[in-house]
Structure 1
Amino acid sequence: MSNETPEWNPNDLSLEPLDQNARNTGPYDEDFDYAEAFASLDLDEVKADIEDVLTTSQDWWPADYGHYGPLIIRMAWHSAGTYRTGDGRGGAAGGTQRFDPLNSWPDNANLDKARRLLWPVKQKYGRNLSWADLLVLSGNVAMESMGFETFGFGGGREDDFEPDAGVDWGPEEEMMADKRHDEEGNLIGDLAADHMGLIYVNPEGPGGEPDPLESAKYIRQSFDRMAMNDEETVALCAGGHTFGKVHGAASDDHLGAEPGKAPIEQQGLGWESDYGEGKGADTITSGIEGPWTQSPTSWDLDYVNNLLEYEWEVHEGPGGAWQWRPKDGELEGSAEHAHDPDGSATPMMLTTDVALKRDPDYREVLERFQENPMEFGQAFAKAWYKLIHRDMGPQERLVGPEVPDEPMIWQDPIPEVDHELVGDEEVAELKAMLLESDLTVTQLAKTAWAAASTYRDSDKRGGVNGARIRLKPHRDWEVNEPEELDVTLETLSAIREEFNASREDDVRVSLADLIVIGGNAAVEQAAEDAGYDVEVPFEPGRTDASQEQTDVESFQALRPDADGFRNYYTGVDPMNRSPEELLVDKADLLDLSPAEMTALVGGLRTLDVTYGDSGRGVFTDEPGTLSNDFFETVLDMRYEWEAVDDENLHFAVVDRETGEEVYEASRVDLVFGSNHRLRALAEVYAAEDGEEQLVEDFVDTWHKVMTLDRFDLK
């Protein structure tokens, strides 16, 4: 796990990601609406201020070619490029490049200078312009200032004020190490970057070896895990490398410590160099030296033409790294020098560039781009737009005058509401119809949870809105018990049709809204059976997406291999996390606090919202009743727990006096008694006066999960 536990308590379960969800770590109060603040900006003025910075060279860190555009593009790319589809974490949201470990990754060397260059803009606009937005907006401005037409921009990224504790960046203990591939070279778990400390792959080649074809395999794997197909991958690499140069004037032995380890007097700047002037023409970053094109601050086709039209040979550059040059001295001195107006340079390529030429599928895209420059520009514009917006979720979250009119398929579009919404009277009627149907409290709650719990706060994907639970791939996931789900969905659809057909007005209910109404009705009935009168809040307005609006392959990333809330675990986790660690991971993606996670697990167990028919964790004689029986049993010293498998995944709950097996349990169930913090929470709910508190907390948290994807309510 990324969150190490103290040596004196190595088995402790880290709840740090959930603690982050429970507190406000920033200086702004809860009433501050960043989206509204960003919308108040004159975006043209902001962009003009950014461009002024980009074209005004500073003595303390002089601009290549008199233009910081290429440096800023790299900064923006690396800010967004940490996104990975597996868990939706990483990306530009939060502006987390400002914090360690990203701030000190070798792949982000000297990007600390890029952010300092932009400080005057950030200082001018203050809270109205987040670092998270500024880092990627400046990338757009940089491209536009060098002649490229971008596809659009949407603001709304709020700043984080500490690193995201929920992100596991990998198992390695040293930068540039690799313990993340299996024997076949496949990345394990949700990881997408090739080595610790890299955004994508090693530019010199896998393991630092200049093998283009092997490099192509790694490129394809990493970019696929970062939501990019072959065309998008080539467009991004070719488009991004049209600008600027890499820096390897000498060996990185001349560099000092990264920002996280730099002396205090350097004020957060790292990689101080003792080579020459340590900047300008003497800059050391990647260890590779030279520009890709003849005119590194202009949008043109030179990168594609150079790569395809010349033969490239590998050699060791001045920084001691493997890089490629044209054979037979071709293109010698054909490029501008970055700092000497009377000097010249020779274009170079990285192993990862040559890989695009050697791989037949990538080369086919390159040749098509060469023949159709307009297509190349459009492909790069859309791929870049996707790169910097992929973790923002639905288009409705984007703010500003440059947001494109039509959403992209990767933004998981849903239809707009085209009918009158149900009110309190209609909701009460629908609840009665649902509870009078053949569906049980458990079935209604299971379906609502299955739909809503796909939400990931990391990239704002999933959730019940769109009713994608009825579509591929969601409907076929094992965790959703497809056969039982089909029965429930068939009944829900029939009730929806009956209700909508009976209306003489324009009031209609979507299946998405009905799924939530059904779950709410189940919770209310379960609470009533326990002696509590509760009403779960409900806000109508969800609509139903079509299969055509659903990218099946993309949505497969949301399929859970574990859901501790349903006591579901496939038994295999590539990162070797325990079921209880995976529960915390799931709770973090649902933006839950430790108390919210605890209340949900206990309530869902008594509602029998568990996978399959094992009854595992359902510590009650009255399943379907919202009680505190789960916590009472976990803490009851009349019972002892005996492992029933060699992996210590499943346990029998045994009566100490009679030796009788009373219930079945999992590690997820036991952790609420074994972990000191979770036991403290369980004790609150297990107390004689704790059941009412549990019901209230469960209702509040249930409603939170049901509305996580309702960005129109936030």
Structure 2
Amino acid sequence: MSQSNGGKCPVMHGANTTMGSGVMDWWPKALELDILHQHDTKTNPLGSDFNYREELKKLDVAALKADLHALMTDSQAWWPADWGTYIGMMARVTWHAAGSYRNTDGRGGNNTGNQRFAPLNSWPDNVNTDKGRRLLWPIKKKYGNKISWADLIALAGTIAYDQAGLKTYGFAFGREDIWHPEKDTFWGNEKQWLAPSDGRYGDVSKPDTLENPLAAVQMGLIYVNPEGVNGKPDPAATAGQVRETFARMGMDDEETAALTAGGHTIGKAHGNGSAADLSPEPEAADPEYQGLGWFKTKGRGIGRDTMVSGIEGAWTATPTQWDMSYFELLFGYEWELHKSPAGAWQWQPVNIDPEHMPVDVEDPSIKCMPIMTDADMAMKVDPVYNAICQKFIADPDYFADTFARAWFKLTHRDMGPKSRWFGPDVPKEDLLWQDPVPAGNSNYDVAAVKAKIAASGLSIAELVSTAWDSARTFRQSDMRGGANGARIRLAPQKDWPGNEPQRLQKVLAVLEPIAQQSGASLADVIVLGGNYGVEQAAKAAGVAVTVPFSPGRGDASLEQTDVDSFGVLEPLHDAYRNWLKKDYVVSPEELMLDRTQLMGLTAPQMTVLVGGMRVLGTNHGGSKHGVFTDREGVLSNDFFVTLTDMNYQWVPKGDGLYDIVDRQSGQTRYTATRVDLVFGSNAILRAYAEVYAQDDSKEKLVKDFVAAWTQVMNADRFDLR
């Protein structure tokens, strides 16, 4: 195949990561709203009536598994299998889809099939996963819409381990595909692949200073650099990065050690050649490559001559079997640094016994040298990881079970609660990381509960703020958070500054007895209280409305709550309640867009909710910034009317605050934040604001507010979908 562009190395040097230009590139500081519209339904070829769960009911799971088992040994001449099996390749395809998950914001992972699109399909660390997906294509073609790419990619690695001899823990279907790149997911500021990691850290020698929300140590990597920190071998230093990165993937030390060892028990690394001889990655390749990348332009480029990571070799002498040989080699030999044929640093055993040498992937008469990466050596050098590995060595069954569970967690972490899972292999056990919530009661008198709330003496602002704080933690990235479970009453949420603990405890002290007396869950009563507050505010505006309510939420216990894991859900800002914990590098309005996207809201919904929350007086701490009304507690369009009124001018005060000054009198009428004023300064948001400022939009504002509010309150009610 011809290629007009120069070869681009997947490991050794950089390529520009810019994904294209647009009209707004002229104004780089302008607020871009694309993140709120990145999954427009018009991009979905399956249509609005398509229901994946209904299609899954038609899936012959046993036949699908049988086809995947057969695929593992169906070696294709265009991309032959190592040792006649694709076990290692399929495990890697799955791992590299799931391993991009980060618990900091819940993004990444394999829940959407995003490995098919840029930038992930062209990350240096994902070299040749494109070949794995093409090997899976005949199976996808056969089963069609009854299996998503996301589910198929996740299942392929699990079947690979099953075929290797591991007793796997289970599998759940239910991942739905996206249809275009998630352009606005933040993967880092670097403009080159594999740029030095120093820019991601406050201090690269202190792994916990890695910039949030990132988990990978360099642009284009899934997790850590296999050669060492910034490509410099130092297992002790690498151990620190492994620990932090895997923690941000939701893994503890034992899970991390199990995944590292188990991940390298099968398969091999490929670095037999020069990276300079590779064709460009998929997104940069010419049409004749048909979406494939990284072909070697010299030599065979397959089999023993494959080039992937630059590291060359298998970790064990039995790379197609699940066994304990990884530990036997790692702890049974001394290791020394060597360079691979591609020039990458890797570790090689000293005085290796020939029986511990893997055979060549094509010729079993040829013995090859086993290898370890810097991350593998970290398992031996780091005292905590070493102790865990010794525990595994003493109890192989415990190691297998720990890995199987960690693999299951890795491949399912971003799917959300079990109510979203489907299939015959869903484990019966409830796992703490699933954020379990017991079933709630829906058989109670909702009207009577609402009457007790009405008589409670709690204000509209108190009721609405508490319900909002309970629900706003939901993030569609990994389906965590939300009002269901009423975890706002438990540690750590009850003590979060953003939840105003003093006000929260006052409200809960009133609502908890109502829940106990009525048989309703506190989660339901909190939401119903917010709904009642909205209804009363709408009534005061002259619009009679009933906010939709579906009972049935449950109350989680502290024992069902992973307190440490929930720490990543703490809000550090909330534009809807006009609150910012401290100043950040990212502007308040950009933070607002990020939170809005995580909650699954559109730009118009964001607009009406912010404007409505302001006039309801729900600002954090009772702040009056943005409360552009003399009728606080009335669900009016006053925020938008004031914002678009040219009788005012907007005077900066510093620290992101502004005075709203009457042009004639010179008197300050209101105060505002940057978040308030962006709805007038940004052209798109102003267009929405003007709609709600119109004289004929008072009723529309209420109805749109109620619809958006209800969506937030029910975001985690998967039983209603």
Per-residue Cα deviation, 1:379-432 (whole angstroms, up to 9, x for no partner): 000000000000001011110000000221000001123x4523xxx2222222
Q: CA offset at residue 65 of structure 1?
A: 0.6
Matched residue, 1:676: 683
Q: How does 1:274-289 map to 2 (within 5 A)?
A: 274-289=297-312
Give the 5 Å matches for 1:491-510: 491-498=510-517, 500=518, 508-510=519-521
Flag structure 1 segments of 5+ consecutive residues without an equivalent: 501-507
User: Match for residue 472 of structure 1?
Assistant: 491
* Secondary structure, aligned partner of 1:689: helix
What CA distance in whole angstroms lies between the structure 1 residues aligned with 2:69 and 2:211? 41
Q: Which of the residues 588, 609, 619 maps onto 2:618?
A: 609
Q: Partner of 2:662 in structure 1?
A: 655
Q: Secondary structure at the residue paired with 1:73?
A: helix
Match of 1:148 among 163, 166, 185: 166
- Residues 502-532 of structure 1: CA deviation (Å, up to 9, x unaligned): xxxxxx2111111111111111100000000
| Letter of the 1:264 counterpart | P
Code of the aligned partner of 2:547: V
CA distance in structure 1 between the partners assigned to 2:710 and 2:187 by the alignment:
32
Kindly provide the CA deviation profile for residues 532-579 of structure 1, in whole angstroms up to 9, marking residues without a partner as x: 000111111101000110111100100011111111112333xx2110
Q: 2 CA distance for matches of 1:539 and 1:329? A: 66
CA drift at 1:696: 0.7
Counterpart amino acid of residue 565 in structure 2:
S
Identity across aligned pairs (percent)?
50
Check whether the contact 1:462–1:709 (CA below 8 A) recurs between aligned residues: yes
Q: 1:47 aligns with which of 58, 65, 68?
A: 65
Pair 1:619-2:642 in alignment: no
* Structure 2 residue aligned with 1:89: 107
User: Which residue does 1:552 correspond to in 2?
Assistant: 563
Distance in 1, matches of 2:611 and 2:356, equals 70
Equivalence for 2:189: 171
CA distance in 1, matches of 2:280, 2:120: 14
CA distance in 2, matches of 1:138, 1:8: 44
- Residue of structure 2 in register with 1:450 after alignment: 469
- With 649-658 and 669-678 compared, the bigger mean Cα shift is at 649-658
CA contact (8 A) 1:651 1:665 kept: yes
- Deviation at residue 23 of structure 1 after TM alignment: 3.2
Partner of residue 535, structure 1:
546
User: Aligned in 2, Cα 1:173/1:673: closer, same or farther, shift over 3 Å?
Assistant: same
The 5-angstrom pairing of residues 404-443 of structure 1 reads: 404-417=427-440, 419=441, 421-422=443-444, 426-443=445-462
| Structure 1 residue 328: Cα displacement | 2.9
Q: Which residue of 2 aligns with 1:328?
A: 351
The 5 Å alignment of 1:76-225 reads: 76-177=94-195, 178=197, 179-183=199-203, 184-185=206-207, 186-225=209-248
For residue 669 of structure 2, give the secondary structure of its aligned residue in structure 1: strand
Matching residue within 501, 516, 523 for 2:534? 523
Alignment check: 8 A CA contact 2:106 2:477 kept: yes
CA distance in 2, matches of 1:35, 1:306: 45
1: CA distance, partners of 2:626 / 2:448: 33
Structure 1 match to 2:14:
none
Do residues 72 (structure 1) and 110 (structure 2) align?
no
Aligned to 1:233: 256
The equivalences for 1:293-372 within 5 A come to 293-331=316-354, 334-372=357-395
* TM-aligned CA deviation for residue 331 of structure 1: 4.8
For each residue in 1:649-688, what CA deviation from the matched residue of structure 2 results, as whole angstroms up to 9, or x when unmatched? 1111111111211112111100000000000000000011
SS of the residue 2:154 aligns to? helix
2:360 and 2:549 map into 1 onto residues whose CA distance is 63
Q: CA RMSD, aligned part only?
A: 1.4
Counterpart for residue 27 of structure 2: 9
Hey, what does 1:244 align to over in structure 2? 267
Contact 2:39 2:180 (C-alpha < 8 Å) held by counterparts = no
CA positional deviation for 1:623: 1.1
Give, in angstroms, the shift of residue 275 of structure 1. Answer: 3.6
Equivalent in the alignment of 2:402: 379
Does 1:694 pair with 2:678? no
2:59 is the counterpart of 1:60 = no
- Between stretches 27-36 and 330-339, larger displacement belongs to 330-339
- 1:332: how far off? 7.5
State how far apart, in whole Å, the 2-side matches of 1:347 and 1:497 are.
Answer: 63
Partner residue of 1:578?
587
In structure 1, how many angstroms separate the alpha carbons of the residues matched to 2:358 and 2:442? 63
| Equivalent-residue separation in structure 1 for 2:561 and 2:634 (angstroms) | 36
* Structure 2 residue identity aligned to 1:706: M
In the alignment, the residues of structure 2 paired with residue 483 and residue 710 of structure 1 have an alpha-carbon distance, to the nearest angstrom, of: 28
Aligned-partner Cα distance in 2 for 1:2–1:222: 25
Larger displacement relative to structure 2 (96-105 or 20-29): 20-29
Report the TM-score when normalising by structure 2.
0.95
Partner residue of 2:286 out of 254, 263, 287: 263
Structure 2: distance between partners of 1:133 and 1:147: 22
CA contact (8 A) 1:2 1:167 kept: no
Amino acid at match of 1:578: S
Provide Cα deviations, 1:274-329, integer angstroms capped at 9, x if missing partner.
24201111000000100000110000000011111111111111110000111134
For 1:241 and 1:113, locate their aligned partners in 2 and report how far apart those are by CA, in whole Å: 20
> Counterpart amino acid of 1:441?
I
Preserved contact between residue 336 and residue 344 of structure 1 (Cα < 8 Å): yes
Tell me, in whole angstroms, the C-alpha distance in 1 between the residues paired with 2:276 and 2:442: 68
Instruction: Assess if the C-alpha contact under 8 Å between 2:625 and 2:671 holds in 1.
Output: yes
1:2 to partner: Cα distance: 9.3
SS at 1:522 equivalent: helix
CA distance in 1 between counterparts of 2:608 and 2:314 reads 57
What amino acid sits opposite 1:712 in the alignment? D
CA displacement at 1:610 relative to structure 2: 1.1
Deviations 1:259-286 (A, max 9, x none): 0101111000000102420111100000
Match of 2:8 in 1: none
**Does the CA-based 8 Å contact 2:18-2:191 persist in structure 1?**
no
Secondary structure, aligned partner of 1:345: coil
Number of aligned residue pairs: 698
Q: C-alpha separation between the residues in 1 aligned to 2:28 and 2:401?
A: 52
- CA deviations 1:325-383 (Å, max 9, x no partner) are 11134458721221112212121101110011000000000110001000000000000
Q: CA deviation at 1:40?
A: 2.3
Deviations 1:566-621 (A, max 9, x none): 11112333xx2110000010110011111111111111111111111221111111
Other structure's SS at 1:392 match? coil
Task: Describe how 1:582-601 pairs up with structure 2 within 5 A.
Answer: 582-601=591-610
Q: Aligned equivalents of 1:612 and 1:678: distance in 2?
A: 26
SS across alignment from 1:336: coil
TM-fit CA distance, 1:193 = 0.3
| Alignment partner of 1:20 out of 25, 38, 49 | 38
- Partners of 1:420 and 1:455 lie apart in 2 by 22
Measured in 1, the distance between the counterparts of 2:54 and 2:257 equals: 36
Normalized against structure 1, the TM-score is what?
A: 0.96
Separation in structure 1 between the aligned mates of residue 549 and residue 303 of structure 2, nearest angstrom: 60
Q: For residues 70-115 of structure 1, give each alpha carbon's deviation from its aligned partner in whole angstroms, at most 9, with x where no partner exists.
A: 0010000000111001100000011000001000000000110000
8 Å CA contact 1:2–1:165 kept in 2: the answer is no
Q: Tell me the residue number matched to 1:505.
A: none
Whether the 8 Å contact between 2:442 and 2:551 is mirrored in structure 1 is no
CA distance in 2, matches of 1:547, 1:16: 38
CA–CA separation in structure 1 for the residues paired with 2:306 and 2:356:
20
Q: Structure 1: which amino acid aligns with 2:612?
A: G
Q: Deviations for 1:689-710, whole angstroms, at most 9, x for unmatched residues?
A: 1111111100000011110000
